[in-house]
Each structure stands twice: as C-alpha cells, then as structure tokens.
Structure 1
Amino acid sequence: MQLHTLVQLTAGVTLLTCVLAVMGLHAYAMGRAQRAELADRLSKTGQVQVGRRRRFPALDRRLRRTRLGRRLELRLAATGLDLTPAEFFVSMLATVAALWVIGQAALAPFFGPLAGLLGIGAAVQFLNWQRQKRIERFINQLPELARIMANATQAGLALRTAIGMAAEELEAPAGEELAKVAHQLALGASMDDTLSELTDRLPSRELVVLVTTLVLSNRAGGQVVSALRNLTETLEERKETRREIRTQLSQVNMTSYAVPVLGVGALFLMNGVKDGALDRMTGSPVGQGAVIIAFALYAVGFVLIRRMSRIDV
C-alpha cells in the first residue's frame, strides 16, 4: 500500500514538473518574441533605418548596453548615417588594422601604433564632420521651416499639425528630424521634451531660437505667426552671413589640414631618399621621443588653427 502511494506521488510530482517545464518554455518563448518585437519597434522609431540586413547583431546588442555604445549610437543618429554602432566599430577596427600594417610596411615598425591611433582620430573626425555637415544643412532649411509653420499656424492649424506638415514637405535632414518629433508627439510625449531632444541631436543657435519661440508660444499662446515671420527674416540674414564667413575661412581651414599632411609627407620623403633612415631614427629612445613630440606638435597646430579660425555667428 505504501509502495503504491509512493508510485502515485512520484508520478504526480513528475507530471507537475513536466507541466511547469512546458509553462516555463512557453513563457520563455513569449518573452523572446516580445523582446524581438520591441527591438524591431525601437529600430523603426529610432534613427537607424531597417531597409537592409544589419551586420554583427550580437556585437551591436552588447555595444548598446555599454556607455560608449550608447554615446556612439547618439552620435551616429546625429550624423544621419545608415550604420549601426557595431558596423561603425568594426569598420573603425578594420581601418586601424590597415593603417597599422601600412605604417609598419611603408615607414618603420614604430609607426604602426601611431598610424593606428591616427585611424581612431580619423574615425572620430569623420563622425564630427558628418554631424557638422548635417547641422549646416538643417540650418539652411530653417528659414523654409519657419515659413511653413507660420503659414500653417496662420491657417488655424495646431502646432503639432504644423510640425507634421513641415515634416512631409521638407527634404532631409529637416524632414527626417521633424518626422521623429511628430512621431514622438503622437505617442504622447510633451512638446518641450521632443523639441529639447531635437536641439540635443542638432545643436545650433538658430534651432535654439526657433525651438524657444515655439515652446513659449505653445505655453503662453502668443502671436506665434508674427514671431515666426520675423524669425524667418532673421534666419535668412544669418544664413547669408554664415555663407560669407565660411567662404572667407575656407583657405584657413585648408591650411589646418595641409600642415599635418606635409609632416607625414616629409617622413615618406626621408624614407624614400635614404632607405632605412626611419628604422635607424626610431631605433633609439631619443628618436622615438622626437617623433612623438613632432606628432604632438602637429596635432596642437591643427587644433590651434581650427580654434583660431572658428567664428560663432
């Protein structure tokens, strides 16, 4: 009798374990499906388009969990590049490795790590250049944006509707950025938060003035039409002023890039005149220190020229 009871108890526990295991597997599968759906939704509402298959998905997920990956994702979103953080990171590593090998083979083994560091700096500078170029394009579209919103508000449309209309009529990057703002507003985000995120992605004085005008008008319900009309004229004048300043400083900007290029060219010239000269020069600590100091001075000269030629309008 006791044996029969023990068999029944064992069978009941086994059945209960199987039921719990099936329920656990079902919950796990549902969790994975919900997570995949959420990731797909975030990718569609984020800055990266999903028109093509993304490479390195596992590395991308790991990068996005880190602080560096999140900063890189925001920087890529500001540039408008169709790249994930993992794709950019792998491309940067490949560039660093290629420059390392080229520096060792063409100059001397000592220049391999320096060339790799140059690759990292070039990647960061490329992101900054792409971001600044996108900001400049957005600034050039601000007068037309203010004009469209002034016409829409004068016709009696709400500010949210005017933003959506401007997103449809304007080209990239203004159209894309306003589409993100309109989408966030449709999901229930506040006007202040969405416009503040816009200024964080594309920082500029012109955009700050426009956003401040819209936020104050939305809060106080002031004369938004007349404010946007006046702002349109001001933005047009600032646009012409920025174009003139950029033309005047184009030669100085080219000089800032020409100085380090001449230094690197001098190294190739020395190695070409006398084969093995760089190997002997970097074979001692004194020569290595001199090369490092020279590269540091070229970097300082590049930064100083860029800072001196920067004019805030």
Structure 2
Amino acid sequence: MILVLVLIAIAVITLCLTLYLVGRQSLDWYSRRVVDSAVSDLEGAFMFVSPGKLLVGCGVTTLIATAAGYFLMSVPGALFGFVGGVVALPAFIVQLKKRRRDQFIYQLPDALRSMAGAMQAGATVVRALELVGTRQPKPLGQEFSLVLSEYRMGRDLEKSLENLKSRVECEELELFNAAVQVSRTVGGNLSQSLESLAATLQSKAQTEGKVRALTSMGKMQGWVLSLMPIFVGVALYAQKPKEMSLMFTTGIGWLLLLVAALLLISAIYTIRKIVTIDV
C-alpha cells in the first residue's frame, strides 16, 4: 500500500513538473515570437507598450475567454476560449496594421498634391516633406516626420523612403519613391509627376471603394454562412448537452469535428477568393 502511494506521488509530481516545464517553454516562445513582434508593430504605429504589460493583458484576456467558454460549453468551450484568447493579440495587430495602412493610402493623394504645390512655390524635396509631415494628420504626418528624422540623422533620403515603404507595406509608395529617386539623380519636373501620381492614386482609390461597396454584401453573406454552423452547434449544445457531448468524447465525434473544420476553412477561403478583387 505504501509503495502504491509512493508511486502515485511520484507520478503526480512528474506530471506537474512536466506541465510546468511545457507551460514555461510555451510562455517563453509566445513572449518571444508573438509579444515581441506585437510590441515592434505597435511601436511602428507610434503606440508604445511594454512587453510585460502586453503579456499580462494577453494572459487576462485568455483567462476571461477560457472561463466564459467553460461557463457556456464546459470543457470544449474552455478549449475554444483558450485558443481565441491566444490568437486575439495577433489578430488585433493584423487589423491595426491594415487600418493604419488604409488611412495612409487615403491621405497620400492630398499629401502628394501638397508637396507638388510647395515645390512649384520653390521649395526643395526635403522642405516639401517637412511641410507634409507637420501639416498632414496621422498616420501619414507621423510617417513622413520619421522619414525626415532619419534623413537629418545622416541617412540617405532614398533609403529613408524605402524604410517608409517597408514599414507601411504600401505598394503606392513604389511610384513615389521612384519619382523622387529619378528627380534627384536625373532631374525633371517632380512637381508635375507628383500631381499626375496623386490623380492616379485618387482614381485607384475611388475604383477600390466602388469594388468594396459592390462586394460588401457578398462578404457579409460569406461570414454569416461560415459562422452559422458554429452558432447552430452552440445552440444545440445548450439544448441537448448530453447528446452533443458525444462530439467531444468519442473518436467518431472528433473525426466529424475535424472534417467540419476543414470544410469550414475551405469555404471561408473560397468565399474570400471570390469576393476579393485586386484593382
């Protein structure tokens, strides 16, 4: 009897130690790969948060999501809540970068026209960039001010503009950078080029807006149809928990869930490819 208790105690201690080590390694990996990357992206958006605070916020969010999932759907709900809490930070960063990029593209034609007007009045490229950085709203004003700061620290202007393109991940900046580089190396009427580029980008933005308006209904229908099986499953679990629990406690149930998840992912991907039109 004593030997059995000793073996049980050793097994429990070994299991706890293993869980602790796995959890510690997983937390270190999440902190290095996700939190540090999120902090870097937030700094690029001029939002400064310490990694410790961000990690604590992610932990609190994960705990709340896990508890809410357990309250609604017991162990399966807790699993879904835990996964949702873990991926919440990367999803938020992706949406933040997309929103900031869209705002930058929306403000870019007006900024190019302002630069063209300043250069027609006799200003240099650097002076025109300074006027745009101080007078344009964020995020464009912030990004152009950062370009000027790098230039004043001794970095080449073309290199600073390339860094701007890599930060914003904006294809529209390729033409602007090319126009500035050609003007500084070969010469030419840069103000006229910027005027033409601003008109082109504005026309492109108007076309993309029309496309988004025409495809918005299709995107909404796709999300509704894609999320409907999940809502139906939650409703059935709330009404028939004993029958629905077989989906999470049997091998056939897990196989059906896997097939349903694969079909759902393929449906979401197919719908997004159909309604996403690149202008």
Residues 1-313 of structure 1: matches in 2 within 5 Å? 66=32, 68-79=34-45, 81-313=47-279
User: For the structure 1 residues 217 and 137, does the alpha-carbon distance in structure 2 shift closer, same or farther, using more than 3 Å as the test?
Assistant: same
Moved over 4 A (4+): 65-70, 78-82
What amino acid does structure 2 have at the position aligned with 1:299?
Answer: I
Structure 1: segments with no counterpart, 5+ residues? 1-61
User: For the structure 1 residues 191 and 69, does the alpha-carbon distance in structure 2 shift closer, same or farther, using more than 3 Å as the test?
Assistant: farther
Normalising by structure 1, we get a TM-score of: 0.72
CA distance in 2, matches of 1:249, 1:265: 24
Give the drift of 1:263: 2.2
What amino acid does structure 1 have at the position aligned with 2:195?
Answer: R
The residue matched to 1:311 in structure 2 has which SS?
coil
Deviations 1:57-78 (A, max 9, x none): xxxxx99x94655532343245
CA distance in 2, matches of 1:246, 1:186: 40
Q: Which has the larger radius of gyration?
A: 1
User: For the structure 1 residues 90 and 209, does the alpha-carbon distance in structure 2 shift closer, same or farther, using more than 3 Å as the test?
Assistant: farther
Give the drift of 1:207: 2.0
Deviates more, 1:219-228 or 1:66-75: 66-75
Normalising by structure 2, we get a TM-score of: 0.80
CA distance in 1, matches of 2:47, 2:274: 29
Deviations 1:125-182 (A, max 9, x none): 2222221111111111111111011112222222111111101110011111111111
Give the drift of 1:80: 5.1
CA distance in 1, matches of 2:177, 2:138: 18
Identity %: 22
User: For the structure 1 residues 96 and 300, does the alpha-carbon distance in structure 2 shift closer, same or farther, using more than 3 Å as the test?
Assistant: farther
| Larger proportion of helix | 2
User: For the structure 1 residues 80 and 234, does the alpha-carbon distance in structure 2 shift closer, same or farther, using more than 3 Å as the test?
Assistant: same
User: For the structure 1 residues 125 and 303, does the alpha-carbon distance in structure 2 shift closer, same or farther, using more than 3 Å as the test?
Assistant: farther
Contact 2:219 2:275 in 1 (8 A): yes
CA distance in 2, matches of 1:103, 1:228: 53
Contact 2:39 2:49 in 1 (8 A): no
What is residue 21 of structure 2 aligned with on the other side? none
CA distance in 1, matches of 2:196, 2:56: 47
The residue matched to 2:81 in structure 1 has which SS?
helix
Q: CA RMSD for the aligned pairs? A: 2.4
| Greater relative contact order structure (CA < 8 Å, 6+ sep) | 1
Structure 2: segments with no counterpart, 5+ residues? 1-27
CA distance in 1, matches of 2:167, 2:55: 20
Give the drift of 1:306: 2.0
What amino acid does structure 1 have at the position aligned with 2:240?
Answer: K
